[in-house]
Amino acid sequence: MASLKTHTNARNWYVKDYDPVSGKPFELNTAIPKQGETDSQTAMYRKRAETYLKRHLKSPKRRMDTATLLRKQAERRKSVSLADSIGTYIKTKSKSVKIKKQTLTDYKRQLTYLIGQFGEEKKLGLLTFGELESLRDLLAESRTPSGVDGILRGIKAFLRWAYGEYDLPNLHKILWRFGELFIATGNRKPKKRIVFDDEYNLVLGYVNDGTEFGHLCKSYFEFARRTGRRLSEVCKGYIDGLYWYYGAKGNDDQALYLKKEQIQQWLLIQEYLPKDDDGLVTETDLKRFTDKITAAFRTAIRKAVLHSDPKFLKEFGLSRSDLFDIGRDKTDRLVKRLMLRRYAKMYNMTIKDMSESEKRVALKRIPSFHSLRHSVVTEMVREKGVEYTRAFIGHSNSKTTKEYDHSTQAEVSRRWFENN
């Protein structure tokens, strides 16, 4: 009997049915989302999926045709070879303007180990987790653990793409357990971190240089740090009394109570926004404006990171006071060197040994403007709990709020020793 089904990481509802010829189960994507922005929207999607199921059950011919089509598609997918699928993957990636030549070279190099181990004609649909374990062990005989993990991450990226392209059940099983293959770094992912209070104070010092733009940046950062709003949200909406009405992501009807200080900051920001004759801001002008704010924060937070390591600065003939005078390009070069060095030390490797993905992980540990929102959530969760914070920050569910909470061992221990 056909029934509705969904998966933990799936976005849509599926109909699970059985092939009348083979008796094997198959799943049909309804393209109906399982989760809405609100509870009522989620319930509406569920009702649509149930209607879809009823129509499916009422048409035996449709069920037979669907089963036959899916069976033939599955047979074609299972016949795809390792060489052909890798070729298609590389060709697809090469068309992306976001992929650098070096990254594409890394992909090709990492995937040659699959071909070398299993051969060009190996059927992708017959690849097993055990075979990848054997490949991992073979690589470990002549490479450092971090080197092996770098190759594995390239293979994982390919298999994730292949699963979306060919929908092979064996790849889903492999990806579910893939984290077990890593032997040095584990399944590390780029992850934002919060802006610590001492870093934030330094940021304000670097941007507040006595100019009008510096004063604007200080107000912008302060408003975002107090309210937890996103970069573009800060510019939007209007003030009515003590309430600020603005359009947020996924919700055009948000209101936030403000103190007098925040109202003054918001009004100051409005003075600097480029507006037309109707007092409105175009999307293009808003983008240019927020890009300048982002650039100012980006440089200031990088200087704050460099400030934390005077010994590193001394290697380049600099002191902490020199950070006020160096430009953006030099700041970027220095902080990149520092973050790569810290990452390499943490995992007992050299910078030359690091893959492009590892370098991205290392640089992701530099806070961004959005890290201010993460900082607000982390502090509020600790003081008020998840549900209170969810309502304040505007998330539709508490799961998202928990993902923003960075109450790590480092953060908790720092606060413990500061207060005890």
Tokens of 202: 């330094």
> Cα–Cα distance between 229 and 266 in angstroms, integer?
12
Return the bridge partners of 5, or none.
14
Q: What is the pLDDT of residue 75?
A: 64
Q: What does the pLDDT read at residue 39?
A: 81
- C-alpha distances in angstroms, 97 versus 93, 101, 121, 126, 156? 9, 10, 30, 33, 21
CA 49/CA 188 separation, integer angstroms: 36
Q: How far apart are CA 29 and CA 27, in angstroms?
A: 7
Per-residue pLDDT of the chain (420 residues), as tens digits, is 678 877 665 678 887 777 666 667 767 777 788 877 788 888 888 888 888 778 766 677 766 766 666 666 666 666 788 999 999 999 998 888 778 788 888 889 999 999 999 999 999 888 998 899 889 888 888 887 778 888 999 999 999 998 888 878 788 889 888 888 887 654 455 566 889 999 999 999 999 888 999 999 999 999 999 999 999 899 888 999 999 998 765 455 688 999 999 999 999 999 999 888 887 888 888 889 999 999 999 999 999 999 999 999 999 999 999 999 999 999 999 999 999 999 889 888 888 887 766 787 788 889 999 999 999 998 898 888 889 988 898 887 888 888 787 776 666 676 677 766
Q: Are 287 and 274 in contact (CB under 8 A)?
A: no
Q: Which amino acid is at 220?
A: Y
Q: What is the DSSP letter of 277?
A: T
Task: Say what the pTM is.
Answer: 0.56
* Concatenated DSSP letters of 121-132: T-BGGG--HHHH
- C-beta of residue 376 within 8 angstroms of C-beta of residue 227: yes
**Rounded-to-integer distance, Cα 86 and Cα 345, Å:** 34
**How high is the pLDDT of residue 187?**
45
From residue 293, give the alpha-carbon distance in Å to each of 198, 209, 300: 20, 14, 11
Model pLDDT, residue 400: 82
Give domain 82-181's CATH number out of 1.10.940, 2.40.50, 1.10.3210, 1.10.150: 1.10.150
Alpha-carbon gap, residue 114 to 127, rounded angstroms: 10
Of 320, 316, 344, the C-alpha closest to 330 is: 316
How many Cβ atoms sit within 10 Å of the Cβ of residue 159? 23
Q: Which amino acid is at 67?
A: A
- Alpha carbon distance 197, 228 (integer Å): 15
CB atoms within 10 A of CB 272: 17
Per-residue confidence (pLDDT) for residue 408, from 0 to 100: 63
Q: Which of 83, 93, 81 is nearest to 115 (CA)?
A: 83
**Sheet arrangement for strand 243-248:** 238-240, 243-248, 251-257
3-class secondary-structure state, position 222 = helix
pLDDT of residue 229: 92
CA distance 156 to 159: 5
